[in-house]
């Protein structure tokens, strides 16, 4: 892939948990200053999550810091730069020699019947199911392969309920790289089939997603492969935030009032929040939208933390929304701080609500998505019961399209 994108303007890495600012290094992973140290009660003043209660299990996740004055001039890049790489001035790496599947540049379109029922002025669907492997996860994967290649690595790893693993496997198949993926015991047959077709090395855990994350991290440490675990690797969220840049541009820089997405580890909505804040910092939009994050009630630790309620530490609840069934979310501080900054909300919905929303999305908008992705509509419907959405514009981010 030969193209001219702007020099990245990343200058450092800031830890959500301890606030330490580290110099930028492509070797960076979790915060070195946090390693082996007990978690503070709340994130300190220097952290973007300042004042938010820290869970002892929160890892030291780092956030990429940029020089926005320097980035402004070539954002987005001029000329024929495809998809996600148009936003190169606010990405931590430039495209290298690898042949990547084309990612980003997905359509957005109105859903007038749904808008009317919810009392909105307008509702838009940002259809990220139209990425190469049918999920928004492809945006992070594109960065992971580029970074792996920049560091001379030919193998990657990740843990996943399915979408991240399939994304990694597809991109690796296309680029001629190897990957090892760790999936939970309940990964569906459809998902396992995709992984095997792409030729991934598949490890099916005996446990849930959280256990698969631990197994993949241990395996990655042994093998020296490059990590596509989006919460731990600080650079991957930067790929996901490009969906916000596209929404801004597609709506002619008139930011919506609300942006809604399902929340698992917290990377996706955290990234969307960062993307919109950066658009506001650069003066492209006047004000960042309120973020509405949605979890399935059966597994909703981030909603509990948002409410200041204790997080259940048993394995009690369950949900069919496998792609967000995360009991120990790794990017909670990120998503909590972005939702707070946006004056947004985190909402839980029942599986029955998701089921109903999924059929309304099909019948009233002509769109079929995976069960988890329909949680976004269920969340917006729940919000519409709590407050009037009259005169408001909302965007649902359709995060995954693989039906299983
Ligand atoms: C991964 C995923 C999410 C949630 O993303 P997090 O970064 O884990 O919060 C939402 N929807 C779908 C379809 C996903 O695959
Ligand atoms: Zn730290």
Q: What tens digit of pLDDT does each residue of 33-79 get?
A: 999 999 999 999 999 999 999 999 999 999 999 999 999 988 999 88
| Whole-angstrom distance, CA of residue 68 vs CA of residue 163 | 32
Which protein residues have a CB closer than 5 Å to ligand 2 (ion)?
Answer: 15, 17-18, 20, 31, 33-34, 60
* Residue 339, pLDDT above cutoff 90: yes
The verdict on the CB of residue 137 being under 6 Å from ligand 1 is: yes
* Residue 2, pLDDT above cutoff 50: no
* Residue 32, pLDDT above cutoff 90: yes
Q: If you take atom 11 of ligand 1, which residue's CA is the nearest one? A: 399
What is the CA(69)–ligand 1 centre distance, in A?
A: 31
Backbone angle region of 193, left / alpha / beta, with phi > 0 → left and psi within -120 to 50 → alpha: alpha
* Residue 265, pLDDT above cutoff 90: yes
Q: Percentage of residues in the chain with pLDDT exceeding 70?
A: 98
How far from the centroid of its chain's Cα atoms is residue 108's Cα?
Answer: 18
Q: What tens digit of pLDDT does each residue of 83-112 get?
A: 899 999 999 999 989 999 999 999 999 999
The verdict on the CB of residue 323 being under 6 Å from ligand 1 is: yes
Number of Cβ atoms within 10 Å of the Cβ of 75? 20
CB 165 within 8 Å of CB 199: no
The verdict on the CB of residue 265 being under 6 Å from ligand 1 is: yes
pLDDT (average), residues 2-20: 83
| Whole-angstrom distance, CA of residue 60 vs CA of residue 71 | 27
In a 13 Å sphere around the CA of 57, the CA atoms on its Cβ side amount to: 12
Q: What tens digit of pLDDT does each residue of 175-209 get?
A: 999 999 999 999 999 999 999 999 999 999 999 99
CB 328 within 8 Å of CB 305: no
CB 365 within 8 Å of CB 311: no
Strand order in the sheet with 21-23: 21-23, 10-15, 62-66
pLDDT for the residue 313:
67
* Residue 1, pLDDT above cutoff 70: no
pLDDT (average), residues 119-137: 98
Residue linked to tokens 């029955």: 352
Q: If you take atom 13 of ligand 1, which residue's CA is the nearest one? A: 400
The verdict on the CB of residue 329 being under 6 Å from ligand 1 is: no
CB 168 within 8 Å of CB 158: yes
| Whole-angstrom distance, CA of residue 396 vs CA of residue 374 | 9
pLDDT for the residue 79:
83
What is the CA(237)–ligand 2 centre distance, in A?
A: 17
The verdict on the CB of residue 373 being under 6 Å from ligand 1 is: yes
CA angle (226, 229, 234) in 5-degree steps: 85
What is the CA(119)–ligand 2 centre distance, in A?
A: 44
For the chain, the straight-line distance linking the first and the last C-alpha, in angstroms and rounded, comes to 34
Strands 258-262 and 345-349, bridge-based pairing: unpaired
Q: Which ligand is nearest to the CA of 48?
A: 2
pLDDT for the residue 315:
67
What is the CA(165)–ligand 1 centre distance, in A?
A: 12
* Residue 234, pLDDT above cutoff 50: yes
Average confidence score pLDDT of the chain: 95
| Whole-angstrom distance, CA of residue 266 vs CA of residue 32 | 21
What is the CA(64)–ligand 2 centre distance, in A?
A: 13
Which of residues 316 and 73 earns the better pLDDT score?
73
347 forms beta bridges with 294
What is the CA(330)–ligand 2 centre distance, in A?
A: 13
pLDDT (average), residues 295-307: 97
């Amino acid at each position: 892939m030969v193209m001219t994108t702007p020099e990245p303007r990343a200058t450092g890495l800031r830890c959500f948990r301890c606030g330490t600012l580290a110099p930028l290094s492509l070797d960076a992973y979790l915060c070195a200053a946090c390693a082996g140290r007990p978690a503070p009660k709340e994130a300190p003043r220097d952290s973007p999550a300042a004042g938010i209660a820290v869970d002892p299990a929160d890892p030291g996740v780092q956030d990429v810091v940029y020089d926005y004055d320097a980035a402004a001039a070539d954002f987005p890049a001029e000329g024929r730069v495809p998809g996600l790489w148009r936003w190169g001035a606010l990405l931590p790496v430039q495209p290298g020699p690898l042949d990547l599947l084309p990612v980003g540049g997905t359509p957005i379109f109105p859903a007038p019947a749904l808008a009317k029922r919810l009392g909105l002025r307008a509702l838009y669907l940002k259809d990220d199911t139209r990425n190469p492997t049918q999920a928004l996860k492809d945006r992070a994967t594109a960065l992971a392969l580029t970074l792996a290649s920049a560091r001379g690595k030919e193998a990657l790893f990740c843990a996943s309920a399915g979408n991240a693993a399939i994304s990694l496997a597809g991109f690796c198949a296309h680029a001629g790289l190897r990957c090892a993926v760790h999936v939970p015991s309940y990964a569906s047959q459809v998902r396992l089939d995709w992984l095997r077709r792409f030729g991934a090395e598949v490890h099916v855990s005996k446990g849930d997603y959280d256990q698969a994350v631990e197994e993949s991290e241990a395996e990655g440490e042994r093998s020296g492969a490059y990590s596509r675990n989006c919460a731990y690797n600080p650079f991957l969220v930067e790929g996901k935030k490009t969906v916000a840049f596209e929404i801004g541009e597609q709506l002619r820089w008139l930011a919506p009032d609300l942006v809604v997405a399902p929340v698992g580890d917290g990377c996706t909505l955290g990234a969307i929040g960062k993307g919109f804040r950066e658009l506001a910092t650069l003066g492209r939009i006047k004000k960042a939208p309120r973020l509405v994050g949605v979890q399935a009630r059966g597994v909703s630790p981030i909603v509990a933390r948002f409410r200041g309620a204790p997080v259940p530490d048993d394995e009690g609840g369950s949900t069919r929304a496998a792609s967000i069934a995360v009991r120990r979310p790794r990017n909670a501080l990120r998503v909590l701080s972005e939702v707070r900054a946006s004056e947004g909300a985190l909402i839980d919905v029942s599986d029955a609500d998701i089921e109903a929303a999924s059929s309304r999305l099909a019948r009233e908008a002509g769109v079929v998505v995976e069960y988890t992705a329909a949680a976004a509509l269920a969340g917006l419907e729940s919000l519409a019961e709590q407050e009037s959405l009259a005169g408001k514009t909302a965007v649902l981010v359709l995060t995954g399209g693989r039906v299983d």
